[in-house]
Structure 1
Amino acid sequence: MRRLQERFRRFMNHPAPANSRYKPTCYEHAANCYTHAFLIVPAIVGSALLHRLSDDRWEKITAWMYGVGLCALFIVSTVFHIVSWKKSHLRTMEHCFHMCDRMMIYVFIAASYAPWLNLRELGPLASHMRWFIWLMAAGGTIYVFLYHEKYKIVELFFYLAMGFSPALVVTSMSNTDGLQEVAWGGLIYCLGVVFFKSDGVIPFAHAIWHIFVATAAAVHYYAIWKYLYRSPADIIRHL
């Protein structure tokens, strides 16, 4: 690992001090921008497709909730990295967008679970997770607003707790179609966390994390499209 670090030292800076932000190199800034910017249009198109496939008002509302979370994640992330790269002298704006970038992770987690919690039949107790997941997202948003970059381990714990808690409800559904893809997507996210916490240790670590996010989001989108929005008639027609 040390030999690799020396070879790619010009592509990355030293790890950030405790409770401080990592400062990417210009190469890393570019990679951070492009790895999410290229996903904005596919996210918008995919969200519009789910809305078009909706059969009733509740499906349309759910498609809107999921689509907004998906598109906003990539848009806010891209804007933040552009501001951080090109407008580093605007510290207040950069700080604001960095907070929004972190907040969007909570919103995106809630939005990713929304189709499964809204469109699948749940038990009387499990159904409370439909609104509780958004309560957790609101709590995470408030936490970022109050303690941004102060307790990174606590913040990471909140992300993971919010990601795994609804899974206990989703896996208890009587209809388990698509849950294998949900699990695979969750595993990809978890593997990506290794790179999320490796800035200054692995070159382009954050950009690699973006790739893991894109891959996991694609897996989850495929499952939502196939098992929640694509009609059985369409499936039979393409067999």
Structure 2
Amino acid sequence: MKRASGLQRFMNRRASASHRYQPTCYEHAANCYTHALLVVPAFMGMALLHRRSDGGWQQLTALVYGLGLIALFLVSSVFHVISWKKSHMRSVEHCFHMCDRVVIYFFIAASYTPWLNLRELGPLAAHMRWFVWFMAAAGSVYVFNFHERYKLVELAFYLTMGFFPASVFTSMTNAEGLSELAFGGFLYCLGVFFFKSDGVIPFAHAIWHVFVALAAAVHYYAIWKYLYRSPPQS
């Protein structure tokens, strides 16, 4: 009983299906810091890829991927700060909560962009580089129309968009980096367990943030190592 009561200071009761979970002050702080501290590293990572780019197409791809990475951590941080410190700004908080969900779709599309743009694909698979952005736009429309109404459906959309584009990788003649991609996807899937565990596990959402950061780091490493090789020294 003492152990259970001790955890109550770090975790509130689980929310009902039609309501959002309300984190404790400790959880709010963890939610903010676990992504806010990654905004600058994400910007530096984008700059590094841009510097290693060989040509305009690689530079554009680095920009798209880097902005997706920065937006994920920045929007998440702003939303959690507003949710923590400005609880009276309900309309602003609601807007940033939707943006936080929307940016996940575009982050997934941006994460696939280097592989779809810089690897040789089959004729049908090549269309995926555009279709993945269509899926991101469709997911955004869903968020703005059904925000927080059907949480399991929304989760299914995220998982579908996360895994469906990977089907085209079978057409890649060069398989370098695919093991890192798979491992990063595995980390994302592990994190989903914590994403759905608010009110069950203390700091569940912050732990989800950590898994996102680890998975994004694995994917960044693969992109940096296999798609943006250092240009030969003259």
TM bracket, shorter-chain basis: over 0.9
Pick closer, same or farther for the CA change 1:5–1:69 going to 2, 3 Å: farther
Q: TM-score, normalised by structure 1?
A: 0.95
Identity of aligned residues (%): 71
2:9 partner SS: helix
Pick closer, same or farther for the CA change 1:153–1:3 going to 2, 3 Å: farther
Partner of 1:237: none
Contact between 2:49 and 2:228, CA under 8 Å: does it hold in 1? Answer: yes
- Displacement after TM superposition at 1:4 (Å): 5.9
**How far apart are the structure 2 equivalents of 1:4 and 1:225?**
45
Contact between 1:11 and 1:25, CA under 8 Å: does it hold in 2? Answer: yes
- Displacement after TM superposition at 1:231 (Å): 3.3
- Displacement after TM superposition at 1:3 (Å): 8.0
**How far apart are the structure 2 equivalents of 1:128 and 1:23?**
41
Pick closer, same or farther for the CA change 1:142–1:91 going to 2, 3 Å: same
Once the two structures are superposed, the pairs formed by residues 149-164 of structure 1 within 5 Å of their partners are 149-164=148-163
**How far apart are the structure 1 equivalents of 2:179 and 2:67?**
24
**How far apart are the structure 2 equivalents of 1:150 and 1:160?**
18
Contact between 1:185 and 1:217, CA under 8 Å: does it hold in 2? Answer: yes
Contact between 1:32 and 1:206, CA under 8 Å: does it hold in 2? Answer: yes
1:119 aligns with 2:145: no
Partner of 2:134: 135
Partner of 1:192: 191
CA deviations 1:13-36 (Å, max 9, x no partner) are 111111211100000000000000
Pick closer, same or farther for the CA change 1:203–1:120 going to 2, 3 Å: same
- Displacement after TM superposition at 1:187 (Å): 0.2
Give the gaps of 5 or more residues in structure 2. Answer: none
1:73 aligns with 2:72: yes
Contact between 2:52 and 2:231, CA under 8 Å: does it hold in 1? Answer: no
Pick closer, same or farther for the CA change 1:182–1:141 going to 2, 3 Å: same
Contact between 1:13 and 1:200, CA under 8 Å: does it hold in 2? Answer: yes
**How far apart are the structure 2 equivalents of 1:121 and 1:32?**
39
Partner of 2:84: 85
2:171 partner SS: coil
CA deviations 1:109-146 (Å, max 9, x no partner) are 00000000000000000001000000000000000000
**CA RMSD, aligned part only?**
1.4
CA deviations 1:176-227 (Å, max 9, x no partner) are 0000000000000000000000000000000000000000000000000000
Partner of 1:94: 93
1:55 aligns with 2:54: yes
Partner of 2:177: 178
- Displacement after TM superposition at 1:8 (Å): 1.1
